[in-house]
A and B are shown apart, each in its own frame.
Chain A
Amino acid sequence: MCGGRVGKDGIHGVTASSEVFSEHTPAGHVQIGDPYTQKKMHDFLLEARDAGLIRFVTDNGGGGLSSSVGESARYSNGALIDLEKVPLKYEGLDQWEIWVSESQERMTVAVAPEDLEAFMALSRRHAVESTVIGRYTDSGKLHIRYEGRTCAYVDLSLLESGFPQWTFEAHWQPPEHRGLCEPVLGEPTDYNALVLAMLARPNICAKNWIARQYDHEVQGTSVIKPLIGAGRDVPPDAVVIRPVLTSSRGLVFTQALIPQYSAIDAYHMTGCTIDEAVRRIIATGGDPAHIGGVDNFCWPNIQYDAEKNPDGRFKAAQLVRACKALRESCLAYGIPLLSGKDSMYVDGHLPGRFGERHKVSALETLQFSAVSIIDDITRCVTMDLKAPGDIVYVLGLTRAELGASEYYELFGKIGCRVPQAHPGSFLPLYHALAKAIGKGLVASAHGVYRGGLGVHLSLAAIGGRLGATVNLDQVPADGALRPDRLLFSESAGRFVVTVAPSQRRAFESLFTGLPLAAIGTVTAEATLEIRSGPQALVRLPVEQLVASWKGPFGDLI
């Protein structure tokens, strides 16, 4: 075992993160992170790896030694562990606590006996504590001793086959059966105030003050930083790093999270979240053929209980539907899932005004991370408008999909027609855009995400501190849509792209038969003008967009 010592911290950490949190939750489950110890261990292990001193290595994460040794012992078919050898932070731990503690910054490493001396010498050089706590055997048993006395002697096969399959009841009710329907909402008349109000929504407004407080350039690999544009204050669609400094290849990384859609259907929440992550990669120049994903489930308890979880069957059905969508989307986009994680009891019991408790369950949430490769980092594209005179395009169809949108949320509504992803029909468009970016034909590219076109045109203008004049009537749409729906629908599969006029023909030729339309131009005058028919619905100076967007948090540094 290498790295930190074992204490009572982190005992039952993983179980607690998957349990309803209450005042009875033991404080000891909190893991105490220590990046300094982590960094020293990391330096040491990389050097030991390069010297060929490591046969096997695994993290002491959930379950601590019980998990790391239990897993790795399967390779040799047995292990013998002497728990008294495990270095402790302080005395007083029971044997079982040593075995399951999740104290951080620890790795379990298998070292060949002949390499042990070199391994321990390197460990001392790096001032990292490493301790021989046992050895791998082929006994077929996990044998745990404390000062020579056996504490546990278990068939290894039990670790693999000893678990009964959990079954649970799931009952799906489609949204329309649950009484969801579109709100009756007349068309607004003050679009200027509406756009400004949307930009100030907590989920949309500027968060540059957060990213500024974190070192996002250490190791000198940064290519596209988490804050970009003329004011270096807008988040890009994805970040790019160049992990090998002598190479021209980059890694494109992004994340997507739209839990709101689960208020209607977790299937479409999942599909749209994955689609958003894919578009974020494509818009930045990432290769659509090399996308890898990581799924993180945050779910309320799905076990039905008439008293404590009366809607457990519905939450379980949401999980089933999300898993189906995850499978279908990943197959359609060709995304292998590299890793994943779940926290399955995201429920709380919050105190009310009269001493009563209210159970609150999180929306069924899948957070999706995506990574891809870009062969030449200088081909990266960012979302900020680049030059006056450039043509503004909208790619992809806008549909009347405002269910669970930010727009409806502004009015306290949910609606029913949630955005849906259609990977099969989206992919040709994504490949065409990737090709255009690869050929260097694109000045800026930005996906249309939460808040819709109205918000994301504004963000592209804020990014460039340039204006644009666009006509909503040109936006490719599924049927005739009212201007507020064109502006704030959150249909998946869409981008805003700008192209230099000289490259118009070459760009458009890649999109034959695909939903694409030029809707206006970038202007030197920093004003966003959105027209419909003869009318300017929106006419706002970009500085006013910035002021509203930054309003909620200001420069809270």
Chain B
Amino acid sequence: MSPNPIDALVLTGYGLNCDNETAHTLALAGARPHRVHINALIDGEVSLEDFQIMVFGGGFSWGDDHGAGVVQAVRMKNKIGDQLLQFVARGRLVIGICNGFQVLVNLGLLPGLDGDCTRRCVALTHNDCGNFRDDWVHLGVSASTPCVFTRGLTRLELPIRHGEGKFFADAATLARLEAQGQVVLRYVDASGRPAAGAFPANPNGSLNDIAGICDPSGRVFGLMPHPEAYHHWTNHPDWPRQKEPLRRAGRPLPGGSTPGVRIFENAVNYLREA
């Protein structure tokens, strides 16, 4: 174990369903994952102060009633809202994935414009295609973003699995997010060009092809795609086709960190260096 362990809290309970693989991916990235029930935080049995990373993971919290992520956000804001704000203010890292991203925008932790981390000013709403969708997407990382989770990444592929992933904001808010480098991830096509709203490269009709945003500090990050679902090269849909030429050339099969793991490694490295 590293002399300087990074403790990561992964929320569980109330319909969250990606906690196991998120904890696994954090462990691969060198963190010490802790799966913690939302009620254990609310009861005070577990304290946020003991953690450096907090993950709002995927799932269907509170059955997606009243809109995805809405009830979880209200519940956490009412019960431990101040602790969450302090966690962020102390320079720790927060990542919200899929349902967790929906919670972060409902809490107002994202986009956190004007230093206000409580105001809801962007939305993730029903996909334009009208259905829940599971597909792998191509993503481009903005060059100018302060986001600490995506350092060193320019292009990656991840799966999306959601019914409410369309990023929406008014024109003025969008312009500010763009100007401040808060748009971290965008849906692009297979050659890296902007999806320009076209389905299925942009799977949900997100404005400006937005797949993920961060707060102005770059330490709070939310995204619809699932980095924790790409922790091993065999998660990628093309791996049997990638394996064949390697096998024939007598070359080793892929190893090392997948792009999904690298997002969490970036968080661990940032905290180690801080």
Which A residues form the contact surface with B (CB < 8 A)? Answer: 34-36, 39-40, 43, 125-127, 211-225, 227-230, 232, 242, 245-246, 377-378, 380-382, 384, 386-387, 440, 443, 500, 502, 557
Alpha-carbon distance A213/B131, docked complex (angstroms): 7
A218 contacts across to B, CB distance below 8 A: 17-18, 58, 161, 229
Q: Is the CB of B226 within 8 A of A217?
A: yes
Instruction: List 17 A-B residue pairs with CB atoms under 8 Å apart, sorted by A's residue number.
Output: A36-B62, A40-B14, A126-B13, A126-B39, A127-B39, A211-B134, A212-B133, A212-B134, A214-B132, A218-B161, A219-B18, A220-B24, A245-B24, A378-B253, A381-B240, A386-B244, A557-B133
B247 contacts across to A, CB distance below 8 A: 440
Alpha-carbon distance A229/B228, docked complex (angstroms): 23
A500 contacts across to B, CB distance below 8 A: 248
Alpha-carbon distance A246/B231, docked complex (angstroms): 11
Q: Is the CB of B134 within 8 A of A216?
A: yes
B43 contacts across to A, CB distance below 8 A: 125
A557-B130, A557-B133 as given contacts; A382 in contact with B14, CB under 8 Å? no
User: B residues 46-65 with Cβ under 8 Å of A?
Assistant: 58-60, 62-63
The secondary structure that dominates the B interface is mixed
Alpha-carbon distance A35/B59, docked complex (angstroms): 11
Alpha-carbon distance A242/B21, docked complex (angstroms): 11
Q: Is the CB of A35 within 8 A of B134?
A: no
A213-B131, A214-B134, A215-B134 as given contacts; A220 in contact with B62, CB under 8 Å? no
A212 contacts across to B, CB distance below 8 A: 131, 133-135
User: B residues 84-128 with Cβ under 8 Å of A?
Assistant: none
Q: Is B129 an interface residue (CB 8 A)?
A: yes
**A214, A223, A229, A245 — which one has the most chain B CB atoms within 10 A of its CB?**
A245
Q: Is the CB of B24 within 8 A of A246?
A: yes
Q: Is the CB of A215 within 8 A of B18?
A: no
Q: Is the CB of A125 within 8 A of B39?
A: yes
Q: Is B159 an interface residue (CB 8 A)?
A: yes
Alpha-carbon distance A155/B45, docked complex (angstroms): 48
Indicate which residue in A36, A245, A557 contacts B60 across the interface (CB closer than 8 Å).
Answer: A36
Alpha-carbon distance A125/B14, docked complex (angstroms): 10
Q: Is the CB of A224 within 8 A of B37?
A: no
A127-B14, A127-B39, A245-B20 as given contacts; A220 in contact with B228, CB under 8 Å? yes
> Which residue of the partner chain B has the closest CB to A215?
B161
Alpha-carbon distance A217/B226, docked complex (angstroms): 10
Alpha-carbon distance A215/B21, docked complex (angstroms): 15
Alpha-carbon distance A533/B206, docked complex (angstroms): 56
The secondary structure that dominates the A interface is loop
Alpha-carbon distance A370/B12, docked complex (angstroms): 32
Number of B positions contacting A (CB below 8 A) = 46
Q: Is the CB of B12 within 8 A of A43?
A: yes
Which B residues form the contact surface with A (CB < 8 A)? Answer: 12-15, 17-18, 20-21, 24-25, 37, 39-40, 43, 58-60, 62-63, 129-136, 159, 161, 226, 228-229, 231-232, 234-235, 237-238, 240-241, 243-245, 247-248, 253
Q: Looking at the assembled complex, report how far the CB atom of B246 sits from the nearest CB atom of chain A, in whole angstroms.
A: 10
Which 5 pairs between the two chains have the least Cβ-Cβ distance? A220-B21, A36-B63, A382-B240, A386-B244, A215-B161
B63 contacts across to A, CB distance below 8 A: 34-36
> Which residue of the partner chain A has the closest CB to B254?
A378
Indicate which residue in A219, A386, A557 contacts B241 across the interface (CB closer than 8 Å).
Answer: A386
Alpha-carbon distance A127/B12, docked complex (angstroms): 12
**B17, B131, B134, B245 — which one has the most chain A CB atoms within 10 A of its CB?**
B134
Alpha-carbon distance A500/B130, docked complex (angstroms): 43
A127-B39, A214-B134, A228-B240 as given contacts; A219 in contact with B15, CB under 8 Å? no
Q: Is the CB of A126 within 8 A of B37?
A: yes
Other than the known A36-B62, A125-B43, A222-B229, what 18 A-B pairs have Cβ atoms closer than 8 Å? A34-B63, A212-B133, A213-B132, A217-B159, A218-B17, A218-B161, A219-B17, A220-B20, A220-B25, A220-B226, A225-B237, A228-B240, A232-B237, A232-B238, A242-B232, A378-B243, A387-B244, A443-B244
Q: Looking at the assembled complex, report how far the CB atom of A380 sits from the nearest CB atom of chain B, in whole angstroms.
A: 7
Q: Is the CB of A377 within 8 A of B234?
A: yes
Alpha-carbon distance A387/B24, docked complex (angstroms): 35
> Which residue of the partner chain A has the closest CB to B162?
A215
A217 contacts across to B, CB distance below 8 A: 134, 159, 161, 226, 229, 235
Q: Looking at the assembled complex, report how far the CB atom of B128 sits from the nearest CB atom of chain A, in whole angstroms.
A: 11
Indicate which residue in B25, B37, B59, B135 contacts A125 across the interface (CB closer than 8 Å).
Answer: B37
